[in-house]
Amino acid sequence: MRYLLFILILAGQNTGFAQNLYPLQSISDSLGFRLVLANRQPALQWLAVPDAVLGARRGNYPMVTAIMLRESDLVVQYEPGRSPADQSYRIELDLQLPDGSRIVPQPHELTETTADADKGIRELVWLDALEYLPDFGPTYALHLHRTRMGAVNCSGERPVFSLKKQLPHYAAAGAGLALVGLGQVYNQQKKDSYAQYKAYWADGKTREEADDPFLKTAKDKKTAAEASTYIGLALLGADALWYTLRAIKINRRQKTYDTFCAPPATSSLQFRPAIFPAGIQPGVGFSLTFSLSRP
Amino acid sequence: MKIKQFLLIPALFGISVSTAIAQQVPCYFKYRDEGIQEMRQKKFSDANNLYWLAFLCSDKPEKNDLSDLIQQCQANWVRDLEVSVQQQKVAYEAAVTARQEAEASKVSEEKARREAEKNARKAREQGIRAESLRMALVSDMVRQKGRISDALTLAYLALQMAGPDLSPPMMRAFGDAVRDSFTHTLFNSPDILERMEPLNGNATGVLLKINGGNYYILRDGSNDMQSQVTRLDSDLSNVTASPRGDRFIGWGKSPKIQIFDATGAEVAVLTGHSEPIRTAAFSPDGQLIVTGSRDNTARLWSHTGNPLAVLDGHTGNVQQVVFAPDGSYFLTRASDGTARTWSLQGTLLAVFQADDAYLRTVCIAPDSKQIAAVFSDGQARLHTPDGKQITALNPKDQPAKDVIFAAASPILAVCVGAKTVQTCTTSGTALATCIHQTEVTGMALAADGSALLTWAKDHVVRLWDNHGKLLHELRGHRTDVTEAAFSPDGRHILTTSKDGTTKLWDLEGNILTDWVSGPNALVQFLPNETAMLTVMNGGRSVARIPFPEQIYGQMNRQDVLDSAGAKAVLEEFKVQFLDALTARQ
């Protein structure tokens, strides 16, 4: 039984790990640069000092600490920010060539490593990005996108623990209760059978006449009653646990949705011009509206 | 002559006899009176003779008026003759005038006839032209309604009817009909195609890369290539095919290199590099392989995977390896800003570098005797494979951006500055300078170097001859042109654009057909065929499209006009000038 509970809890947790992540919020920076030669090696020359990008902490986003060319690789060093448990971040790069075309790195061209474990600095490396920069004169742009990722899809509906989602839990709870009830029935049958066995025994019947039919039945009923009751209770417990986990998860998603996806809250008290139709009090004036529902 | 002589003798005899008689016979008054009568009747000759006879008569008075009469007769005769001459002259002049008028009338009639014939011919030609144009437009309309076969027939007959007097809409209608009728889909991809490379120069083998990194080989599927797809190892980031298309080198994030055979089975694994592979190439005969890695080395291998040499010397990732077209040496370029040439035994031949400059681009001439290098400071130079400089390809104040060689002639093109492309021979002799109004974004040379294509930021592709004369401007793309190329026979041009469209042009600047090839606009001429290999269907299908000319030739060899389909189409669309069509056939 303990193993069963453990598996159920793990399964509940795993559904959280396997969930899809969606972009919640992002910031994008465009950094213009030219290629220059320093000590016979190409280097980036920024057109404007990117102070707002480099070394500036913005919210919970990872902080970019350096962008450089290392041989032919383009390296972005960053310090990951603190993220809530169900959120993560994503850093993406692309290059804009002078003709306006964009180059997005292929998956095999990107690696991510720890640059300084003590300071918690990591590196996103675009391998051999220099090969995409053909000329030394023109202006290029590096687009840096930092995205906060969460388990809520902002383009979808607000997460709700709907009746449809709750129904399997109710069904499981019903099944658990039914099993417990069945266990009680078996228990009663066990008691009856055992009482009969004892009655026959007391009446001085032989062992062959009394023992086999009633004691065996009582033992069988006892086994069945225990199995039904325990399975039913386990099902009830697991269902309650799963229900609670889902409710917590959905509640957390609702909070995330309300924070990142909901449109800006408008005042429930609104005062605006209005035209009143003929019949009541025709004319033009102002209306005062108070909304009782969530906008 | 004999008759005159015969008549002269009796005449003389008659005159003599008359004279003799007159001298003997009194006849003066008779002859005189008769002469006067004759003169009044304007028979001046007879009158004159009679007067002369009277002159001989024996009864002639001494005083007579015969002389006066003779003079009068002669004077009258002269007057009469003068009148007659005048009348004849007038008559003659009238006749001449009449004749001239008749002749003039004849000329004008002939002229009018000719004019009428000319007008009729012109009207007929215009009618034929109009009718053939109408047929082309109708072909377009029925094609858009899905009647592909009828559209092709109509477009073909429009071309037949127009003869040599073709107009761009007719060629376009036929090209579009050919495209819709003969496009053969070879492969439907589960995702957008990123790369497409015909193997061994034909469509019976194609190497494909699909978005997400999977490589596929399509084989010998002229009719059903979909069933002969081989998927290579999914961990490959790049694959290179051998020149014959029967071997493939593949590599991914790891330092190992895999060699696959034509069926996609792994036949060897090359190990030795300590960091991921960046590049690899087969020698032209397919017997050698050279690989370049992020470990700053290149390695030479046999085609079976035996290591032959380790090429040290670069101090940066080896980014490019390429064999000379004749296979006599190979070249490596690295991110240390240099390139090196090596013998097939792995001996260093030369280092290509510049002081305070980074080598950006390097390419080998088709005859393998020259190497063009472009550096970060804009200098472009031509070298021999052993490193000797042949010539500088651009003035110092005009930085070079790119260099290309013609495939089969000693001519190269250099893009200098932003708006100029220059062509020259491999010995450095300048041929042409092509100046643009906007920034040049690409160029391509015809295989024989006789023509140059350039495309610029104004979305126009320009065709130049090898003297720098602008032949045609190919206008039609609405966004930046990404690529343009001559067909192997030099008679067609393919252009692709950022809007995902591809256009096929003739050398007169007419669009023959176009299609949507998808976001990556992958399209190539098939070197050994008169067709193109292209992606379609939003970049998810590989298809083969024949040249319109090829289909036109095929249809010419068939009796299209006599086919039931053609007759039905001609009748349905009430095609006029059928006699012209029959005559041209």
Cα B572 to Cα B565: distance, rounded to the nearest angstrom: 10
> Whole-angstrom distance between the N-terminal and C-terminal Cα of chain B?
68
Residues written for chain A? 295
Chain A residues whose beta carbon lies within 8 Å of the beta carbon of residue B358 = 37, 40-42, 136
CB under 8 Å, gap of 24 or more: what pairs does B160-167 form? B160/B561, B160/B581, B160/B584, B160/B585, B161/B128, B161/B131, B161/B132, B161/B135, B161/B577, B161/B580, B161/B581, B161/B584, B162/B128, B162/B129, B162/B132, B162/B133, B163/B584, B165/B125, B165/B129, B167/B129, B167/B133, B167/B136
pLDDT single digits (tens) B98-122:
999 999 999 999 999 999 999 999 9
- pLDDT of A290 reads 55
Assess whether pLDDT exceeds 60 at residue B226.
Answer: no
Buried b (16+ CB within 10 A) or exposed e, B560-570: bbeeeebeebb
Assess whether pLDDT exceeds 90 at residue B339.
Answer: yes
At A164, which helix (H) or strand (E)?
helix A163-202
CA B8 to chain centre: 85
> In the Cβ-directed half-sphere of A109, how many Cα atoms lie within 13 Å?
22
Assess whether pLDDT exceeds 80 at residue A202.
Answer: no
Spell out the residues 6+ positions from residue B47 whose beta carbon is closer than 8 angstroms to its own.
Answer: B35, B36, B37, B38, B39, B69, B73
- pLDDT of B3 reads 52
Spell out the residues 6+ positions from residue B87 whose beta carbon is closer than 8 angstroms to its own.
Answer: none
Assess whether pLDDT exceeds 60 at residue A2.
Answer: no
Q: Do B498 and A101 touch (CB under 8 A)?
A: yes
Highest mean pLDDT among A260-274, B11-25, B78-92: B78-92
- pLDDT of A291 reads 53
Name the residue among B213, B360, B377 with its Cβ closest to that of A134. Answer: B360
Confidence of residue A15 (pLDDT cuts 50, 70, 90): very low
What distance in Å separates residue A40's CA from the closest CA in chain B?
6
Highest mean pLDDT among A79-83, A141-145, B18-22: A141-145
With a threshold of 0.95, tell me whether the complex ipTM lies above it. Answer: no
Name the residue among B317, B356, B399 with its Cβ closest to that of A71. Answer: B317
Average pLDDT, chain B: 89
pLDDT single digits (tens) A128-152:
999 998 788 889 999 988 888 888 8
- Of residues A15, A294, A36, the one with CA closest to residue A140: A36
- pLDDT of A196 reads 82
pLDDT single digits (tens) B505-548:
999 999 999 999 887 788 988 877 788 989 998 888 999 999 99
- Cross-strand pairs, B375: B359
- Cross-strand pairs, A22: A150
Q: What is the mean pLDDT of residues B486-490?
A: 90
- Which chain A residue has its CA at the smallest distance from B361's CA? A134
Which DSSP symbol is given to B226?
G
Cα A267 to Cα A289: distance, rounded to the nearest angstrom: 10
Assess whether pLDDT exceeds 60 at residue A277.
Answer: no
pLDDT single digits (tens) B288-300:
999 999 999 999 9
pLDDT single digits (tens) B446-470:
999 999 999 999 999 999 998 999 9
Q: Which residue has the higher pLDDT, B200 or B446?
A: B446
Q: Which residue has the higher pLDDT, B549 or A272?
A: B549
Chain B residues whose beta carbon lies within 8 Å of the beta carbon of residue A37 = 356-358, 376
- pLDDT of A13 reads 45
Q: What tokens does B542 get?
A: 């590989």
Assess whether pLDDT exceeds 70 at residue B14.
Answer: no
pLDDT single digits (tens) B343-394:
999 999 999 998 888 998 999 999 999 999 999 888 999 999 999 988 888 8
What's at B525, amino acid-wise? Answer: F
pTM attached to this predicted model: 0.72
Q: Which residue has the higher pLDDT, B483 or A269?
A: B483
Q: What is the mean pLDDT of residues A206-216?
A: 66
Q: Which residue has the higher pLDDT, A252 or A73?
A: A73
How far is the CA of B3 from the CAs of A108, B132, B164, in angstroms? 125, 76, 71
Residue A113 in contact with partner chain B when CB distance is under 8 A:
no
Q: What is the mean pLDDT of residues B270-288?
A: 95
Residue A137 in contact with partner chain B when CB distance is under 8 A:
yes
Assess whether pLDDT exceeds 70 at residue B134.
Answer: yes
- pLDDT of A11 reads 46
Cα A79 to Cα B484: distance, rounded to the nearest angstrom: 45
Q: Do B294 and A42 touch (CB under 8 A)?
A: no
- Cross-strand pairs, B141: none
Residue B305 in contact with partner chain A when CB distance is under 8 A:
no
Q: Given phi > 0 = left and psi -120 to 50 = alpha, else beta, which region is B566?
A: alpha
Q: Which residue has the higher pLDDT, B281 or B584?
A: B281
Assess whether pLDDT exceeds 90 at residue A235.
Answer: yes
Q: Which residue has the higher pLDDT, A256 or A276?
A: A256
- pLDDT of B259 reads 94
pLDDT single digits (tens) B248-274:
999 998 899 999 988 888 999 999 999
Average pLDDT, chain A: 80
Residues written for chain B? 585
DSSP states of A76-141 as a string? EEEE-----TTEEEEEEEEEE-TTS-EE---GGGEEEEEEETTTTEEEEEETTGGGG---SSS-EE
Q: Do A72 and B335 touch (CB under 8 A)?
A: yes
Which DSSP symbol is given to A258?
I
Residue B335 in contact with partner chain A when CB distance is under 8 A:
yes
- Cross-strand pairs, B381: B373, B392
